Structure 1
């Protein structure tokens, strides 16, 4: 509903009388409480304190009522303490004989508390991890050892071994590698070849002409024929 001049004058009159915004909205009809407050603010009417804040201020400013404390009854005067005689010195206990291992403790002896087990953390490899107090200084490295050349055996005396080979010595093996006297020829090589003249004749054989070649024997059990 539009605000006419009559409704505005009614709003001002009821506002000055101290009616609340809800009461003014009911009297005017067709408007809400918030619409009345907004119109009063636009008209520049004097603002009024919130009733909720006033109630809160009154409640906070109310002095707290203290309950009366009953008077305490006087206590009777305590008698003066009588000085007790000093205790007589006790005789020193005799040294007890060492009990055998596993024997039960005597009746007068205090029970010895069992030691708590020390928990150790086991690593992934199955070893015990050291704590801060279990760390030991590193072990110093061993001094370097002197490499002493091995003495040649009696079977290799005067023979060429693998360590003696070079480009001027025949490298033809003699014997089996598993035998103790396995060695190499050691004679001067044939120029351009790794072996001497004698062993070159064994290692390299001339190929016969095609007309002088013999066919290999046939395979057993009816193998393919050689043409």
Structure 2
């Protein structure tokens, strides 16, 4: 079992976020782009920037690999892109990748694609693999986590099936039990500093947050998008610092 010392993972999607994380000091970042869409695969240029920041004392770099918005049932072409992006992240110096894949089960409901997860683990030997909140789209996050034991997956990210992790405490407790000490459990989804103590109390190993705020720049290309959907969110350093303080206090 990995030592239980509460960690903070900060989700960032631009150079400002990388710089803020370097100053605030989370254990790692989840690097992505398009946070407003739930996060998509970042460019290799952004990966290089994060890896360079790590080399200068910044946090570990875990790269979200998600080839498109929407659900996680990928066809063979999308899966090929996903695996290629995993290998590219490894080649550019990432410490880990963050993925999630589903397939349609016998009853028509989505289930975790364990074969796809195994392909990812095999594609990035030596890197940590995290299975993300795809778990919260399934009937039982705890059962899915139990099925991941022995696959080489290092950690999972889940809100306990609730819109906010603080509302999914009972399921998060079940997920921790299902992980059996073999897989780290990270709580994410609407995490704020005042929720960290309650999340820590159910035994999670880490909390995950974007600490984001809307920026002032809005792009209107006349495509019918609302102003809020085209506003660029950025990392709020004050909020990130409060999250870091709450994590330290809960250790």
- Shorter-normalised TM range: under 0.3
TM-score by length of 2: 0.13
Q: Which of the two has greater helix per residue?
A: 2
TM-score by length of 1: 0.14
In our comparison, the structure showing a higher alpha carbon Rg is 1
Q: Which of the two has greater strand per residue?
A: 2
